Chain A
Amino acid sequence: MKKYSAFAVVREALRGHKGWDKQWVSPEPRNAYDVIIVGGGGHGLGAAYYLAKEHGITNIAVIEKGWLGGGNTGRNTTIIRSNYLYEESMDIFEHSLKLWEGLSQDLNYNVMYSPRGVMMLSHNIHDMQSFKRHINANRLHGIDNEWLTPEQAKAYCPPLDISATARYPLNGAALQRRGGTARHDAVAWGYARAASDRGVHVIQNCEVTGIRRGPDGHVTGVDTTRGFIGAKKIGVSASGHNTQLMAMADVRVPLVSNPLQALVSEPLKPIFPCVVMSNTVHAYISQSDKGELVIGAGTDQFVSYSQTGGIQIIEHTLDAICELFPMFRRVKMMRQWGGITDNTPDRSPIQSKTPVPGLYVNCGWGTGGFKATPGSAHLFAHLIARDEPHKLGAGLTLNRYYTGRLIDEAAAAAVAH
């Protein structure tokens, strides 16, 4: 792999950009691998990368039904933060945030991680109490999070309307300065390139149609649209379709799949400096480096794989955005899309061994998986390589639905992820 650098950009500029390699190779699948990862999103590609980098397993294939990052990795609002309430959540999301901070250097790929700050607006006394509880829990856990007065919030994010006559008046805000955004496609591509460089096979346009097991119950491989491929271990990380994949091995998982929508506006000059979320009126917004306003909406409340979502959901979100930021009222929306998220009953992810030996699952990231990409991938690689969870992910196993030790972020994180 040729290293990307400023020097390389200059060199290629001088010789007509003829020296760029393909970022990853697309080989014919081998007959068998040590590990197969099902799902070529950020989590799956990242897991393959960390397996190769930190656990010395390089005979790996990542099998993707569509194209890399064509699922939820490329269909989200790219918000990164770690200001969760419970210890298990703080552990993994902060682990992830720390990896984000060095990810571009680690991968030699600019993932455009931008710690521009994530601000959560408080509109009433309940919000204030809840956010202060989060702030205290975070700070006790060594995570940055601070309380701002409305004036301080306005100074950090000038487009805010803090007047008393605002439709949704503010009584303060919580700010995580290390939070921010990253370029979602680059995350998938960067992991794919770095994993491919270490010998991982990235196989696109190949759908897994079955999971085979031997007489002892241990996995033996997967049936795909390109034939059978053997595997000693299989890690499933397929977001909205994890239920279907686990069903191929007769494993039941506590998931429901719901469409989550987002939309972007026409590109504007830089106008919005940070990420702003309002759980109470349910809107979150940031501005991409291309200039588009990136706006997250809610989920449909019923099981659906439609990849669209109800129009009333984005209408509700845009109502809220227009009330919070009246200057955006005449901005045109350019694209809208829906991704299928897999949601658990306690709205916390599952990273776990399964009753089937050799089969591992990374699921239930729901509406908030992008921010977790490096941390989730790192811990999933550990789980697959060592056959036991990393200590930071020990609370995320399937077992919690049998013992009752849930991680109830559903109430803690409110709606927006």
Chain B
Amino acid sequence: MLLIHCPYCQEDRSELEFRAAGEAHIARPENIASISDEAFAEYFFMRDNPKGYIWERWRHFNGCGRFFNAVRHTVSDKFVVTYKAGEPKRSLESLGLGTTNAGGAK
């Protein structure tokens, strides 16, 4: 079971209190009614699904109830960092993890 740090509660809590909420930093197109089918499919269905570091959303469902973002490795499942929603995406360089996501989907 994972131990997850909620950046709002500032506590390490068990995975049971959280819900995974998919890939993070996907911006909804502003003009969603007028984008092409390809652009919509890319936004709505396509995911990075990396074997390596992933940027994803979690929700502290049985806690503060808030969404936040996390960087985690998908083979070890180890969390590198969690940060509040709305904060800029943490780059691998800023986390001291090199420059390329080996095993990543892209």
Contact = CB atoms under 8 A, between A and B. Distances in A.
A257 interface: yes
Contact of B45 (A241, A303, A312, A401): A401
Interface centre among B16, B19, B22, B45 (most CB of A within 10 A): B45
B20 A302 contact: yes
A244 B47 CA distance: 12
Contact of B47 (A255, A305, A310): A255
Given A244-B51, A310-B15, A254 B46 contact: yes
Contact of A305 (B1, B16, B20, B74): B74
Contact of A253 (B1, B16, B46, B76): B46
A254 B47 contact: yes
Interface string A247-276: 100001111110000000000000000000
A247 B20 contact: no
A301 interface: yes
Q: How large is the interface on A (under 10, 10 to 19, 20 to 34, 35 or more residues)?
A: 20 to 34
Contact of A312 (B15, B47, B50): B15
A305 B54 CA distance: 12
Dominant secondary structure at the A interface: loop
A305 B45 CA distance: 20
Interface in B30-87: 37-38, 41-42, 44-47, 49-51, 54, 56, 72, 74-77
B106 A247 contact: yes
A345 B76 CA distance: 24
Given A256-B49, A303-B74, A403 B106 contact: no
Contacts of B2: 310
Given A244-B103, A306-B76, A401 B47 contact: no
B76 A254 contact: no
A304 interface: yes
Interface string B1-32: 11000000000000110011010000000000
A344 to B, nearest CB: 8
Contacts of B95: none
Contacts of B50: 243, 303
B105 to A, nearest CB: 5
A311 interface: yes
A155 B42 CA distance: 51
A310 B47 CA distance: 23
B56 A401 contact: no
A144 B70 CA distance: 47
Interface string A366-408: 0000000000000000000000000000000000011110000
B106 A256 contact: no
Given A310-B15, A312-B15, A244 B105 contact: yes
Contacts of B38: 402
A247 B45 contact: no
A252 B19 contact: no
Given A244-B51, A310-B1, A312-B1, A304 B45 contact: no
A311 B75 contact: no
Contact of B37 (A301, A311, A345, A402): A402
B42 A252 contact: yes
A303 B56 contact: yes
Nearest to A241: B51
A238 B16 CA distance: 31
Interface string A282-322: 00000000000000000011111110001110000000000
A243 B105 contact: yes
Interface of A: 241, 243-244, 247, 252-257, 300-306, 310-312, 345, 401-404
Given A301-B20, A401-B46, 18 more contacts: A247-B106, A252-B42, A253-B46, A254-B41, A256-B22, A257-B51, A300-B20, A301-B19, A302-B56, A303-B74, A305-B74, A306-B76, A310-B1, A310-B2, A401-B41, A402-B38, A403-B37, A404-B37
Nearest first, the 8 closest Cβ-Cβ pairs linking A and B are: A302-B20, A254-B45, A243-B49, A301-B20, A252-B46, A401-B45, A402-B37, A401-B41
